[in-house]
Structure 1
Amino acid sequence: MSISAKDVKKLRDVTGAGMMDCKKALSEADGDMDKAIEILRKKGQKVSEKRAERDANEGLILTRISDDHKKASAIEINCETDFVARNDDFQKQANTFLDAAFDNDIESAEDLMKVEVDGLSVEKHLEQMVGKIGEKIEIARVVLVKTEGTLVDYIHPGNQLGVLVDFDGDLSDDTVGKDVAMQIAAMNPLAATRDGVDASVVEKELEIAKEQLINEGKPEEIAEKAAKGKLRRFYEERVLHEQKFVKDNGITVKEYLEQNDAPLVKSFYRMQLGEA
């Protein structure tokens, strides 16, 4: 019988077993989920099954950038405890996965699972780590960025927050790049420019502002106009180029870049541990 990808994922989520093992087990069980779980347990998946019931809320954010700053990768790997995340072997293995993602131009965690490292797929390596360490371990996210401009990366101490910034041109001063990356880490903007903010978010902010003003007793027509003023403040807080520069609140990030003859930011990726 035909086994759907949805059922395979469901079994994987329940048991923590590899995707191919889940597919084989479901085929052997004629699609019966309970029987498939039993088959996996009989084949030595007991540890993974137990660990799948737990939350993997700790882990690492890792980045790698090419020497010419034209290509970068980032991954989020999760485990259950900070103790494991600080373990040298865990960190070494995580960096191996990052290298595999970078070297193979991988854009998703699902695709990374299939890549071979030292003769085994990343998926099999994760299963071995689960068995050895005794915690649920998974790769939650993979990001790949390529540019004609300049890429800068930043990892906040502790590896729970990472940033990749794509500048729209050549960046001659590394300090400027790091300053902007740290700004993104600290201030969590939604986008580099207003155009990058999702239209639904803008509509929602306008709606909230308008409702607040009406509740304060403002007529609807006046509230609608005043809401646009509140929206400007929203942009100043959540759009990178319009944010006050954290190292000098007298200027915006855009003004800081212009003062240093640096290109503007085209886009960025901010990865915080546990955030989808």
Structure 2
Amino acid sequence: MQNLKKIKKLRSITGVSIMACQKAIIKSKGRLNLAINFLINNSNNIKTNSLKESFIICRRNKKKNKAVGMLIATETDFVTKNDIFKKLANIILDVALFAKKKQDILKYQILNKLPLFKIVNYFSNNIFNEYIELKTIVFIEAPFVNFYIHHSCNKAALIGFSNYIPNLEQISKNIAIQLVCNTNYNTSFPKLLLYKNIKLVNYKVLSL
């Protein structure tokens, strides 16, 4: 009886099936937080073979000192081209800027009430009827950050600098473009002094 209450509680929090909640409660020995972590950590194993479409989204915060890049996978490109899905992607990016890892993103509660994990599951099961997976997620923090996504949405660069100077917005965008276009960026793009005392302190490339 106690487990049944916990299963119902877990379902109300996450929006996943009763069977998945039951398995999570059993695996976590009835501990709710561990059950939520179990569902999040094992979400990648659901319908993996049916995920055929992937694309990349990025965003930086208003202070321009943190950026996030995310690879999202869906079953068809219909979902990714849907205006409703674009709104969902914006919500995910907004939340991601407050997080450090995937688990933080999915457990984040909108308006201190509704976990993002439940929102994504609701859209997946009730609006799109397709599975949505938040796959690779990368974060970058620096005094100034920027990013560039290739027009095909299959590759992106996130880039951070030691401080800000005039025109760094455009300079950083150009460097991010070079990173995206350079297939050997891991070895051929050294972290050198760029201009006066501005240094490229960190960068990450996300690709499908």
TM norm structure 1: 0.55
Aligned partner of 1:272 in structure 2 is 207
Q: Does 1:63 align with 2:58?
A: yes
Of 140, 148, 153, the residue aligned with 2:147 is 153
Of 73, 77, 83, the residue aligned with 1:78 is 73
Whichever residue aligns with residue 59 of structure 2, its letter is R
Distance 1:170 1:100 in 2: 26
Aligned partner of 1:241 in structure 2 is 190
Aligned partner of 1:100 in structure 2 is 95
RMSD, matched Cα: 3.1
Of 9, 22, 30, the residue aligned with 1:24 is 22
Between the two proteins, the alignment pairs up a number of residues equal to: 176
CA contact (8 A) 2:155 2:180 kept: yes
Q: Does 1:112 align with 2:112?
A: no
Whichever residue aligns with residue 189 of structure 2, its letter is L
- Structure scoring higher RCO (CA < 8 A, sep ≥ 6) equals 2
Whichever residue aligns with residue 85 of structure 2, its letter is F
Say which structure is richer in strand.
2
Matches for 1:1-276 after TM superposition, within 5 Å: 18=16, 22=20, 24-27=22-25, 52=47, 54-102=49-97, 104=98, 106-117=99-110, 119-131=113-125, 132-147=127-142, 149-173=143-167, 174-191=169-186, 238-241=187-190, 257-258=194-195, 261=196, 263-273=198-208
Tell me, which stretches of 5 or more residues in structure 1 are unaligned? 1-16, 32-47, 192-237, 243-253
CA contact (8 A) 2:145 2:161 kept: yes
Whichever residue aligns with residue 123 of structure 2, its letter is M
Distance 2:172 2:48 in 1: 41
Aligned partner of 2:6 in structure 1 is none
TM norm structure 2: 0.70
Distance 1:20 1:190 in 2: 46
1:159 to partner: Cα distance: 2.8
Distance 1:185 1:21 in 2: 43
Q: Pick the structure with greater CA Rg.
A: 1
Aligned partner of 2:36 in structure 1 is none
Distance 2:18 2:145 in 1: 36
1:81 to partner: Cα distance: 1.6
1:122 to partner: Cα distance: 1.6
CA contact (8 A) 2:96 2:105 kept: yes
Whichever residue aligns with residue 123 of structure 1, its letter is F
- Indicate the percent of aligned positions where both proteins have the same amino acid: 22
Alignment CA distance shift 1:108-1:57 (3 Å)? farther
Say which structure is richer in helix.
1
1:30 to partner: Cα distance: 10
Whichever residue aligns with residue 105 of structure 2, its letter is L
1:139 to partner: Cα distance: 0.7
Distance 2:101 2:199 in 1: 27
